[in-house]
A = this chain, B = another copy of it.
Amino acid sequence: MGSTGGRRLNVNNINPHVRAAKYAVRGELAVKSEEYRAFIQEGHAGLPFDKVISANIGNPQQLDQKPITFFRQVLSLIENPILLQHEDVLLNQLGYKPDVLERAKWLLTQVGSVGAYSASNGVPAIRKSIADFLERRDGFPAKQSDIYLSAGASSGVNTLLHVICADDKSGILVPIPQYPLYTASLSLLNARCVPYLLDESKNWGTDLATIKSSYDAAVAAGTDVRAIVIINPGNPTGASLSGEDIRAVIEFARQHRLVILADEVYQTNVFVGEFISFKRALRELQRETPGAYDAVELASLHSVSKGMVGECGHRGGYFELVNFDPEVQAEIYKFVSIMLCSPVVGQCLVELMVHPPAPGEPSYELYRQEYDGIFESLRGRAAALHKAFAQMEGVECGEPQGSMYLFPTIALPEKAAEAARAEGRSPDEFYCMRLLEATGVCVVPGSGFGQKEGSLHFRTTFLAPGTEWVGSIVKFHKEFMDKYR
């Protein structure tokens, strides 16, 4: 027997692009927080906290947000259609309303069984329902053949970047701070991330001069800039763009022939101002100046994970393509077909999200009440957290505007920066690690999203209920500042 010479794979010979990818939302801090959680669950004591608060990721139902009753009732029936043979029991003993049964029957007619693969781009009737929703939302027609169901928005982003990036010169404009899915996916594809800074002084809005200078610098460096990512409302920043800002981005995209990737998964998480879709803005520009914008390609993404739905674990989402070349769409279809189809229950949940009970329907009142309750509760939690930040020395944070996050700036003493360097960490990482160790609260350092050189931040969700955890952050911060002052 010859010598095997050890394992074939080691961290130095695997795909270097996988190794280069960074994904802080689920990085070292998240792993450590899960270890703490397991430690507590196993009944161990000795930590300075009795509960881990995962404020690192927008995962509402992990933090006790209740699912919408109508959605889950329908899903229970499509999982076990035999229940529909007991209408009396459902209606009179289990609190199901007639519209729940109707919707479940309709979905079953359309999907057959949720255990069967659907068409790779999604169940046709669900795509039609999404198109109808988009027409209602935007006031412009939408076609089911332009809609692609996906396993959450993440998988949609993966698809689109795979098709758009042709080689190692391809570049994509990505906002900084950003959700790290974009940089991680571009690393995997060995394509170029062309960062453009959002303007913290304008509540993290887009600044066209900044975008332009990033674009110019990238082109000068030989980058074939192909698309611009806009996250609206912003992640991690929560900002909603004005109609004017959106039109400016579209105009920029038109002039420079950039595909627009509009990540609009927080479209219902808006506390200040109003959500305006890129689709609507683009169609308005097309109407105002016929012919001028017809070649501006837009992909808009949405998801069941956010909003008042919060069904992350179901992995449902979709994207709509606007003004895309049919031959390119055929390649996108082929790409998604390799993974067969997105989860069919997740597809059904997308249908329920875009087509909830309407006024006058039996399930409407409860739906409205649950939806509004979640919205108000999120707004209240955001305000409480924001208020706490206002009391904290060296912490600055704009008014909560939307999404599920706050992204405060923190000014840390030089001694803290020194201690961080001694540990081989950036100061914001160091701060977040100490916060986790002291309080069990897991947040993500700003460096995980990108931040302006010399500035420090962290991102926290405002999903956790109660105020105790907020108090523990305030207390930790004071002690931290005192220690390193």
Contacts and interface: CB of A to CB of B under 8 A. Distances in A.
Interface of A: 1-2, 4-11, 13-16, 18-19, 21, 23, 25-27, 34, 38, 57, 59-62, 67, 69, 72-73, 75-77, 79-80, 82-83, 86, 89, 93-95, 111-120, 124, 151-152, 154-155, 158, 162-167, 181, 184-185, 188, 226-227, 254-255, 257-259, 289, 292-293, 295-297, 305, 310-315, 323-325, 327-328, 330-331, 334-335, 337-346
Given A1-B292, A15-B162, A313-B113, A343 B340 contact: no
Contacts of A120: 26
A252 to B, nearest CB: 12
Nearest to A9: B328
A104 to B, nearest CB: 11
Nearest to A85: B94
A7 B79 contact: no
A161 to B, nearest CB: 9
A254 B26 CA distance: 35
Given A120-B26, A343-B315, A15 B154 contact: no
Contact of A323 (B7, B155, B258): B7
Contacts of A324: 7, 9
Which 3 A/B pairs are nearest by Cβ-Cβ distance? Answer: A313-B344, A76-B80, A26-B337
A438 to B, nearest CB: 23
B10 A328 contact: yes
Nearest to A296: B4
Given A115-B311, A331-B14, A8 B259 contact: yes
Given A113-B62, A313-B118, A315-B342, A86 B93 contact: yes
A119 B188 contact: no
Given A15-B162, A315-B151, A343-B315, A117 B327 contact: no
Contacts of A305: 117
B340 A152 contact: yes
A158 B339 CA distance: 9
A100 to B, nearest CB: 10
Contacts of A124: 38
B340 A312 contact: yes
Nearest to A348: B313
A339 B151 contact: yes
